Amino acid sequence: MSKKCVNCGAELPGGAAFCPHCEASQIERRPVRPPRPWRKRAAAAAAALLLLAALAAAALWLVPGRGHQPAAYTGGAELIYPGEDGEYRLFLCFDWPCIEDGISQDLAVVELAADSELFKPSLFSAQFADSGEDAREEFCSLLESCTVEALPLGGGEPMEAAPPAWDEAFPQAALASGVTFHGGCGDNEVRWTLEMKNGDVLTLSHTVSSVLLREVVYTPEDAPMDTLSELSDLLRHIESEVDGGAVVSLYLPPVTYSGGLELSGRAVNLYGGTDGERRTTFTGTLTIASESPQPCTVEGIAFAGSGGSGLSATASAFVTGCEFSGWDVGAESLEGSWLIVSGCAFSANGVGLLFDSLHSRYSSDVCPGNSFTDNGVGLRVVSLPGSGGFALDNCLFSGNGTDIEAPEGLLDSSGARFE
């Protein structure tokens, strides 16, 4: 379908907005302007009214006998508190991304093996209720004292809640309290009691639930796992067939897996085996990128490489009794992870063990019993989550180009031996 130009009459396609011959527009345009800033005027008027009201209220305070009547405010994981200068939104959570996003968390369910102990942070923060902006400083200036208790629910065993304090590991939280418990101890209410300078008492609480992990074990007798292909097939089978609530442990045969393996999805524990001289060995990179909050365990496995990384993690893992040799980087703990390494041997690598992570669900204050020999750099720490470091108790450093590269004061090497 065609039309004629509104200006010169030239033949134009039906949908043309412009005549390229006479340069005339064929459509009407509407000017777009943002609305007038009524909000500023309204806000100014409201502020003026508020000031008048505040002056009136202040005048009342001068009358003998008048004063603030302390009150109690009780909430769950969230509470709106009417402060003198405006409302505060107070909230509790467990995870640092929720602090950043201002999301409260009522419940944390942790699946844990019976003989495991875990520390879960209970985090408190404050925002201005109207704008959602950070109000930690303003609120804490009104705070007299704060306590945290862990109260068993429904027959659970008591957990231990540390006194609340500002924690550099969670810089966005006003206060943090570490809650420690073991697997299967049941539910506890984590109750925060805040006493304000004006006598008000605020109570917030959320729940930690510790449930026992069910373990599913695979041995070479249960499923073929002599080759990387069989191992990969088994992992795929596990991902689709085993329910997500179970922890899966693979006891590997003493074979050499030529190539790398990736653990994504659920956390899977890998235990290496030995038979005389033979032991479970990987010649390619083991990548730990599990989406599960549960850290996995890698134990008793040799990683023999020629370049690249032996173990590369973006999810936390316990690495125990393993050997890393011949890699550019023996084991690396990258963003999102903390490798809890103990009793491992790092030899003839470019870098034996590397930490370069700013955030992780887990941390450890020890890295004990490891040996670093003949590496270019034995241990390199670029960054660690939070502010804490770890102690190198009973670690041996020998024959390395550089034993340790780390920010000053981060690591405690007083228990290590240097030859």
Partner 1 sequence: MDVYTGLMEAMNSEYELVRRLREGERGSVSVVLHARSGRRYILRLFPGCGDGCRRLLSLSCPHLPLIYEVCEHGGSTAVLEEYVQGDTLSYILECGPLPAREARDIALQLCRALWALHSVGAVHRDIKPGNVIMRGDEAVLVDFDALRVYKCGQDGDTRALGTVGYAAPEQYGICQSDPRSDIYSLGVLLNVMLTGRHPSQAPAGGSLGRVVQRCTMTNPRKRYRDVLRLMEALS
Residues within the interface to partner 1 (CB under 8 A): 2, 12-13, 15-18, 20-21, 23, 25, 27-35, 37, 39-40, 100-102, 132
**CB 36, min distance to partner 1, A:** 10
Sign (positive/negative) of CA torsion 17, 19, 23, 26?
negative
Q: How far apart are CA 83 and CA 67, in angstroms?
A: 15
Q: Strand 309-313 and strand 286-290: pairing?
A: parallel
**CB 184, min distance to partner 1, A:** 36
Choice between 171 and 388, CB closer to partner 1: 171
**CB 90, min distance to partner 1, A:** 18
Q: How far apart are CA 190 and CA 161, in angstroms?
A: 8
Q: Answer whether 184's CB lies under 8 Å from 114's CB.
A: yes
Q: Answer whether 386's CB lies under 8 Å from 167's CB.
A: yes
**CB 30, min distance to partner 1, A:** 6
Choice between 45 and 54, CB closer to partner 1: 45
Choice between 28 and 168, CB closer to partner 1: 28
**CB 37, min distance to partner 1, A:** 5
**CB 353, min distance to partner 1, A:** 29
Q: Answer whether 250's CB lies under 8 Å from 225's CB.
A: yes
Q: How far apart are CA 203 and CA 71, in angstroms?
A: 11
Choice between 129 and 143, CB closer to partner 1: 129
Q: Which residue has the tokens 């009407």?
A: 28
Q: Return the ∠ at Cα 318 (arms to 292 and 288), rounded to 5°.
A: 50
Choice between 39 and 278, CB closer to partner 1: 39
Q: Which tokens is 5 given?
A: 């130009």
**CB 10, min distance to partner 1, A:** 10
Choice between 133 and 275, CB closer to partner 1: 133
**Which contiguous run of DSSP H or E holds residue 231?**
helix 228-241
Which residues on adjacent β-strands are paired with residue 125?
91
3-class DSSP assignment, residue 45: helix
Choice between 18 and 119, CB closer to partner 1: 18
- The residue among 388, 387, 390 whose CA lies nearest residue 379 is 390
